[in-house]
Amino acid sequence: MQLLIVKDEAEFGQTAARLVCEFLAQKPESTLVFPTGNTPLSMYEELVAQFASEKVSFSRATLVELDDYYGIALQDPRNLFAWLQNIFLRQVDFRPVRLFRFNTEAEDAAAEAARMESILQAHGGIDLLVLGLGPNGHIGFNEPGSELLGATRVVNLTHESLISNARYWGEIDNVPSQGFTLGLNVLRKAAKTILLVNGSHKAGILKQMVEGPITDLLPATYLREMPNVLVLANAAAASLLSRKPSLLNEHD
């Protein structure tokens, strides 16, 4: 696992977007899995800017949704795919037929989860996985207690995740209690993974993730056993790490 530390939000977004663009330049027909949340906002902003200046195209790429709230329709502002469409997908040139989302209203959740896994399988798995880090160490909605070989499924969100997601939806009662997530069984096979960690409120969990024991109580620690993982953190998020690599811009 490689750790890259940048100093501020602008550099964070630019670096994340540059890594995505470099990856797509190598393999334009990549299968991508991208996160929602606050953390990747500056990356999406930069990717949209790069697309506008014709430096990147997503027209040959496929995107498979990482996670979403179960029971929340696409028309609901809380739907995570709708959020991603507004922030990013509609502003670049993905082909609609190559976008795959969880049917959050599926009655048979197990069949829907299996359908998403089979889509990934048909595309040869994930080429580039970009993740955020949950405040309790979750990745996607793989909450503490998730097994390394856990499948794509509906999970009950932990109280900590409900509290942290309440800031988006006003109050905790507005946060859906269940979510679909791609399972660690498929995430762990991604050819390349970039974990984005931003802000002083993530410093404690990043330290545990990098320096603590590998445990299912902190699913992000499994990233340490995966091939080709890069953690991109800003200085605030990296502030509690015992051993820090130099700031990225010192090498530029």
Sheet containing 128-132: order of strands: 2-6, 229-234, 192-197, 128-132, 31-33, 62-64, 99-100
48 in Cβ contact with 84 (< 8 Å): no
Rounded distance, CA 177 to CA 198, Å? 25
Instruction: Mark whether 143 is an active-site residue.
Output: yes
User: How far lies 115's CA from each of 18, 91, 121, in Å?
Assistant: 32, 27, 10
Identify the active-site residue in 65, 68, 112, 143. 143
Rounded distance, CA 117 to CA 115, Å? 5
Q: Which of 26, 38, 86, 174 binds ligand GLP (CB under 6 A)?
A: 38
* Closest distance to ligand GLP from the beta carbon of 57 (Å): 25
* Closest distance to ligand GLP from the beta carbon of 157 (Å): 8
Identify the active-site residue in 46, 67, 68, 117. 67
CA dihedral angle for residue 148, residue 118, residue 30, residue 233, rounded to 10 degrees: -30
Q: Which of 51, 62, 134, 182 binds ligand GLP (CB under 6 A)?
A: 134
Number of residues that bind ligand GLP (CB under 6 A): 13
Q: Which of 23, 141, 180, 222 binds ligand GLP (CB under 6 A)?
A: 141
Task: Give SS3 for 49.
Answer: helix
Instruction: Give, as one character, the DSSP assignment of residue 103.
Output: -
20 in Cβ contact with 43 (< 8 Å): yes
Site string for ligand GLP, 158-197 (x = CB under 6 A): ---x---x--------------------------------
**Contact region with ligand GLP (CB under 6 A), list: 31-39, 50-58, 90-98, 234-242:** 31-39
**Contact region with ligand GLP (CB under 6 A), list: 35-43, 53-61, 184-192, 210-218:** 35-43
Instruction: Mark whether 79 is an active-site residue.
Output: no
Instruction: Mark whether 138 is an active-site residue.
Output: yes
Give yes or no for residue 81 binding ligand GLP (CB under 6 A): no
Give yes or no for residue 39 binding ligand GLP (CB under 6 A): yes
User: Maximum distance among all alpha carbons in the chain?
Assistant: 53
- Helix %, strand %, coil % for the chain, to 5? 40, 15, 45
Give yes or no for residue 150 binding ligand GLP (CB under 6 A): no
Q: By CB under 6 A, name the binding residues for ligand GLP.
A: 35-39, 66-67, 132, 134, 140-141, 161, 165
- Catalytic residue set: 67, 136, 138, 143
